[in-house]
Chains A and B, each alone.
Chain A
Amino acid sequence: MSLQNWQEHKRPFAAIAGAPILWLALFFIVPMAIVWAYSFGENSGAADIVISGTLHNYKRAIEALYLSIFFKSLAVAALVTLICLIVGFPVAMAITFASDKWRPWLLLGVMLPFWTNLLIRTYALMTVLGGNGYANKALGALWGSASWLRTLVGLQPLEVWTPVQLLYNNFAVVLGLVYVHLPFMVLPLYSALDRLDRSLIEASLDLGAGHLRTLSRIVMPLAAPGIFAGIMITLIPALGAYLTPDLMGGTDSQMIANVIERQFKRANDWPFGAALSFMLIYAMFALVALQSLRGRRKPAQVH
């Protein structure tokens, strides 16, 4: 596959490139440019910012404190993405290979919870996970029946059940983020897996490869662009999550987005908040640039 040169196809190119680029420039680049300018400014008074060209905000942003929070957030987001991928891949496959009657319902089944407000959903999840919540009650009941079974066969009963701490720690944050971001993984996977050339899978299975082997050798590589899109769409918003760590996290669960949010709100330090945000943007920009460089080389090898 070779890319078309825009100069040889000026009209189709203009037809599809004009609108998105214009929109992005007007309603995104321009507003962001103002905030970018703020990152080189300082507060003067309660609501005024003087753009003085200072680098002070960036110096603060690369202090060990903020870098360590950033890397911790990145680790959490990566873990969340990985779990979403593992959990979501079979779901996407099920949707892809479901009968036509079932496919829309499965899609809806995955999406429906996400049309309920994030905050309400988070509170609902917290009700389930709480110390006196249903998850704990279910576990307690299991424990109780295990204990009872032991007494049946003449063993000592188990100790009394103590509720597990499912909330207010880093585990809760990861679980909450997986809950929130799962469809962001499933949708791109589904869109990539759909219309996958099924004959390839059938051939692989016919030739004696197991399902797992077929999955790793045939399906995964074919779905790679979708997996990549899914990772992007899950990882980055997970990195920007602030509500879940705020509500479900423990005393050490703050993420970089919480810190940024506080600069724009409580600390009333917009220049520093802007600098922190743009550090994130610079980092991601570098990553995306790197990826697109590699992406450009790859197709050349394949074909």
Chain B
Amino acid sequence: MTDIKRSSSSLRMGRRSLLQSMGVAAVGISFAGLAGCGKTESGAAGKIAATGEEPKLNFYNWDTYIGETTLGDFKGASGIDVNMTLFASNDELFAKLRAGNPGYDVIVPSNDFVERMSAADMIVPLDHAQIPNMKNIDQSFIDVAYDPGRKFSMPYTWLTLGIGYRKSKVKAKPDSWKVLFDSDEYKGRIAVLSEAGDMFRLYGKYLGKSVNALTPADIQTISALMEKQKPFIKAFHEDNGQDLLLKGEVDLVLEYNGDIAQIMAEDEDIDFVLPKEGSQLNSDTLCIPKGAPHPKNAHALINYLLDAEVDKKITETILYPTPNAAAKALMPDDYKNNPVIFPSADQLAKCEYAKYRPDMQPLYEEAFTRVRAS
């Protein structure tokens, strides 16, 4: 992440790093010296960015979710120094911000958490006048059910769940959820997600239901199916399914297309399929949490990230589908026409965004706990 900052001034940073590693060697004995060299940059008191705020910004992002030089370029363009820290799941992000915002300016929650956080008054409405690059966003991403008119969030990436598999180990293309959910064909060689909500919703898809129309009765049916399938499953993974697949621990895995696309570049024997029953869509978005100390800088960063050239560079690194039409147009054909990254329109027509359903979430959790304990 902070390699980004470095590339702009590698020489000075190199020295700074050296000082810091010496600091490590001193095991915190020379507090003062470290404080001196560690914080000079961010403590640029008195300076003011074009936005009228001090030139600082705290960006709370996922790991490997930004371009190599994006933040350094942003600093060059705006003078704002971005301090990016990382979170690993929406649940963590939400739990941490629930009691109050400890100083983050821009966060990257997924669609259902945008709903949840706006319902809980944890994110503030965006000022579209400060985000002219909103025009770059594909129209189909503007009026979305989880945030009509993009009042609170700007889409950053989108992704879909499907089956990643090892081509040499399957008899036929596993294009149905059946192979993961209701069959012993690949017993002991499959891994599925450990996230209760996603699992129940995808089972719903397998049974021909909308991901947002599940009822407590459906949970009963699905639990029974899950318990039946459990002996054939090797592990419930924590969203690291691509690793299990790459290591050869399993041959079929329930994962996001972007994650599988990344490992397909390393192993030609791996492929991804969006099951014919349809799937669940997700979208990660840029939001400003309530109490952000630098809201104007935050708008400036969001606008910058939506720039066509900037998002093109980000997309080249992270290889996720982008909702930015202008950026996508700049991408090479092997990205635009990659069926893993961009499934066909009729495949996508069968996919849905999951709604935030506070009534169902605890039921999913309890039922899944029961399945795991059975």
Contacts and interface: CB of A to CB of B under 8 A. Distances in A.
* A–B in direct contact per CB < 8 Å: yes
Contact of B234 (A48, A132, A168, A267): A168
A194 to B, nearest CB: 26
Given A47-B98, A246-B238, A130 B249 contact: yes
Contacts of B91: 265-266, 268
Interface stretch (B8-16, B149-157, B189-197): B189-197
A254 B116 contact: no
B358 A46 contact: yes
Interface in B65-99: 89, 91-92, 94-95, 98
B340 interface: no
A32 to B, nearest CB: 15
A132 B236 CA distance: 19
A259 B249 contact: no
A46 B235 contact: no
A250 B234 contact: yes
A198 interface: no
Interface in A245-277: 246-247, 249-252, 254, 259, 262-269, 272
Contacts of A69: 369, 373
B319 to A, nearest CB: 23
B369 A168 contact: no
A268 to B, nearest CB: 7
A168 B122 CA distance: 38
Interface residues on A, range: 20 to 34
A77 B233 CA distance: 25
Contact of A254 (B94, B120, B233, B372): B372
Residue among B92, B121, B249, B356 facing the most chain A CB atoms (10 A cut-off)? B249
B118 to A, nearest CB: 9
B369 A262 contact: yes
A113 to B, nearest CB: 19
A200 B89 CA distance: 57
Contact of A167 (B92, B230, B249, B369): B249
B365 A251 contact: no
B178 to A, nearest CB: 19
A45 interface: yes
Nearest to A264: B95
Nearest to A45: B120
B130 interface: no
Nearest to B117: A46
Contacts of A132: 247-248
A265 B365 contact: no
Given A265-B89, A265-B92, A266-B195, 19 more contacts: A46-B116, A46-B117, A65-B369, A65-B370, A68-B373, A130-B249, A131-B249, A132-B248, A246-B194, A250-B234, A251-B235, A251-B236, A251-B372, A262-B365, A262-B369, A266-B197, A266-B365, A267-B361, A268-B116
7 contacts: A43-B358, A48-B120, A251-B372, A252-B374, A265-B91, A266-B196, A266-B361
Pick the 3 closest A-B CB pairs, nearest first.
A265-B91, A47-B120, A46-B120
Interface of B: 89, 91-92, 94-95, 98, 116-117, 119-122, 194-197, 230-231, 233-236, 238, 247-249, 356, 358, 361-362, 365-366, 369-370, 372-374
